[in-house]
């Protein structure tokens, strides 16, 4: 089994010990280097060539944002995927990390099993271009779609801890897999999501609406419009659940085919 190689950058020794012990028992993930000094992170990446870098934001001598900037200066083949793992949950920090190239942003305290899954997902996305014609490529493609949707939601301002975030992400997956489901949103899409998350269709609908309301109240729409080069979202024209899902699915679909 080929292992996913990981460099961990964190000045919290408890976190380093926790993850060192956990990954020692994880057969498909290899923790190749732990770094507690931010100024040494990029050197560790160059030396170890990891698939994924997991880094905190607050680090001695170099913060996580400076690390991301320095990674962007490396040749593309040498850049790992980056998961930001930090105790800072400020929206502007999340947006800045995503803009600088972070694939995922996790807030401490965290579940080590969830972190391991995120490492697998972003590593699969990293390899997507190389294995597109091989068996199992659909799994990498799904990871890539999840990453695009996650980055879009974070950029728009939908926080990852609310239920509507997860329901909307699942809805986009469903629409990408079967576009016609948009014509059966109340009879099939909401109930399908409800079954997966063990809830009711009405709660799914309300949670999605709440997530969209939160996003529109945060005024992040210019950031999304700038990503596409033209106005796709307007603060004065808040979409319905179905319109929002269709819009995100369409943008992800266009990006996949580009």
For residues 99-137, one letter each, b for 16 or more C-beta atoms within 10 angstroms of the residue's C-beta and e for the rest, the string is bbebbbbbbeebeeeebbebbbbbbbbbbbeeeeeeeee
Give the residue with greater pLDDT, 63 vs 233: 63
- Per residue in 142-178, pLDDT tens? 445 666 777 677 767 787 778 998 999 999 989 988 9
Helix H or strand E encompassing 199:
none
- Could you give the CA distance from residue 3 to residue 256 in angstroms, rounded to a whole number? 27
Region 2-30: what's the mean pLDDT?
92
Distance separating alpha carbons of residues 204 and 10, to the nearest angstrom? 37
pLDDT class of 134 with cuts at 50, 70, 90: very low
Is 0.75 topped by the overall pTM? Answer: no
pLDDT confidence of residue 233: 65
pLDDT digits (tens, 9 = 90+) for 208-236: 999 988 888 876 666 556 555 556 666 67
Question: Phi, psi (5° rounding) for residue 199?
Answer: -140, -160
Span 11-31, average pLDDT = 91
Which DSSP state fits 129? Answer: T
35 in helix, strand or coil? strand
The answer to whether the CB of 185 falls within 8 A of the CB of 241 is: yes
């Amino acid at each position: 089994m080929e292992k996913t190689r990981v460099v961990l950058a964190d000045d919290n020794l408890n976190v380093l010990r926790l993850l060192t012990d956990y990954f020692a028992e994880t057969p498909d993930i290899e923790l190749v280097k732990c770094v507690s000094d931010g100024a040494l992170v990029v050197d560790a990446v160059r030396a170890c060539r990891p698939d994924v870098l997991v880094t905190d934001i607050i680090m001695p001598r170099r913060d996580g944002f400076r690390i991301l900037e320095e990674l962007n200066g490396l040749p593309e083949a040498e850049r790992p995927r980056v998961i930001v793992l930090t105790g800072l949950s400020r929206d502007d920090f999340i947006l800045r990390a995503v803009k600088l190239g972070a694939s995922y942003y996790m807030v401490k305290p965290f579940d080590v099993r969830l972190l391991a899954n995120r490492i697998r997902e972003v590593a699969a996305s990293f390899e997507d271009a190389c294995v597109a014609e091989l068996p199992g490529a659909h799994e990498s493609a799904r990871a890539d779609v999840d990453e695009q949707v996650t980055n879009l939601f974070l950029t728009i301002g939908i926080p990852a801890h609310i239920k509507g975030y997860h329901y909307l992400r699942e809805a986009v997956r469903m629409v990408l897999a079967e576009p016609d489901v948009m014509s059966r949103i109340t009879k099939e899409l909401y109930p399908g999501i409800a079954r997966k998350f063990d809830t009711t269709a009405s709660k799914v609908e309300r949670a999605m609406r709440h997530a969209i309301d939160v996003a529109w109240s945060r005024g992040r729409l210019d950031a999304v419009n700038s990503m596409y080069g033209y106005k796709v979202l307007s603060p004065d024209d808040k979409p319905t659940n179905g319109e929002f899902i269709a819009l995100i699915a369409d943008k992800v679909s266009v990006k996949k085919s580009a």
